[in-house]
Structure 1
Amino acid sequence: MVAAIELYLDVDTTRRVRNLWRALDAEGIPSLGSLHQKHRPHLSLAAAHRIDPHAVAEALSGFQVARPLPLSIDFVGQFVGRVLWLGVTVTEDLLSHHRAVHDRLSAAGVEIWDHYRPGRWVPHCTISLRVPNPVMAPAVRRCLEYLPLQATITGAAVADHANDISHPL
């Protein structure tokens, strides 16, 4: 199970990513959209097996987590385990926002996975968690057809879909 602090994308970008999910599903390539209907296209700032949404809300009180950050989504990537994602071009503004969130979480004792910490984080929008190896190349090609995307952050929440948690921030 995974819980995350998710940044949500503007309406147009959300529509485009959902269209990509549907295109992959139609080709027999499992997307995040077909995993269950709870996922929204997003950028995760932090993740762990469990995250207490009330502790996060308290740690981030008075801080604008969902400030309207502009994002450029320009490339496709893959993590070990056949996880396919759209890459967000790193900017100083995005990195400083990420660090500010983590400084507050750390000060409050909110534990997160190391690979989401500043200096290790790869900003991305997940497309699929388990692309079968024989269809990875077609999946990447399909993703490239949807790029580039210009997005804006419009919302944030602590999400733990396995436990039906979606706590807006």
Structure 2
Amino acid sequence: MVAALELYPDVDTTRRIRTLWRALEADGIPSLGSLHQKHRPHVSLAAAHRLDPHAVADALGDFPVGRGLSLDIDFVGQFVGRVLWLGITVTEELLAHHRAVHERLTAGGVEVWEHYRPGRWVPHCTISLRVPNPMMAPAVRRCLEYLPLRATVVGAALADHANDISHPL
């Protein structure tokens, strides 16, 4: 199980990423869109096996998580384990925002996975969690057809899809 503090892009970017998910599915490549129909395009700022939505909300207080951030989605990447993602160009504004969120979470006693902490985090939008090895190159090519994307963050939530939690922030 995974819980994450997710940033949600504007309607146009969301639509384009969902279109990419459908194109991959048509090519026989599983996407995040078909995993269990609860995911929406997002960028995770923090993640852990479990996150208490009330503890996260208390730690963040009135901090406007993600609101108005601009994201340049310019490249494709993959993590070990056949995870395919769209990469977000790192900016000082994005890193400062990420750092501020984590300072508040830490001060509130909220524990997150090490690889989401400042200095380790790779900003990305997951496209698939299980691309079959022979399909990775075609999947990357398909993703490149949809780039670049320019997005504005319009919302955020703590999401834990396995436990039906979506707590807007």
Residues in 2 aligned to 1:7 and 1:160: alpha-carbon distance in whole angstroms: 14
Q: Secondary structure at the match of 1:90?
A: coil
Corresponding residue number in structure 2 for 1:91: 91
Report the equivalent of 2:132.
132
Name the residue aligned to 1:109: 109
Letter in 1 for 2:92: E
In structure 2, what is the Cα distance between the partners aligned to 1:85 and 1:66? 20
User: Letter of the aligned partner of 1:153 in structure 2?
Assistant: V
Identify the residue that residue 10 of structure 2 maps to in structure 1: 10
What TM-score, normalized to structure 2?
Answer: 0.99
Aligned counterpart, 1:152: 152
1:106 Cα deviation after fit:
0.3
Counterpart of 2:74 in structure 1 is 74
Structure 2 unaligned regions, length at least 5: none
Residue 114 of structure 1, CA deviation:
0.2
SS in 1 for 2:131: coil
Query: What letter matches 2:141 in structure 1?
Result: R
CA distance in 1, matches of 2:44, 2:129: 14
Aligned mates of 2:44, 2:88 — CA distance in 1: 11
Q: 2:28 corresponds to which residue?
A: 28
* Runs of 4+ deviating beyond 4 Å: none
Identify the residue that residue 45 of structure 1 maps to in structure 2: 45
Matching residue's letter, 2:148: P
Letter paired with 1:53: P
- Deviation of 1:66 after TM superposition, in Å, equals 3.0
Q: Distance in 1 between matches of 2:81 and 2:110?
A: 26
Deviations 1:48-84 (A, max 9, x none): 0000000000001121103110110000000000000
Alignment partners' CA distance in 2, 1:162 and 1:138? 30
User: How many Å separate the matches in 2 of 1:67 and 1:19?
Assistant: 24
Tell me, which stretches of 5 or more residues in structure 1 are unaligned? none
- Percent identity over paired residues: 83
The total of aligned residue pairs comes to 169
CA deviations on 1:99-137 (whole Å, 9 max, x unpaired) are 000000001110100000000000000000000000000
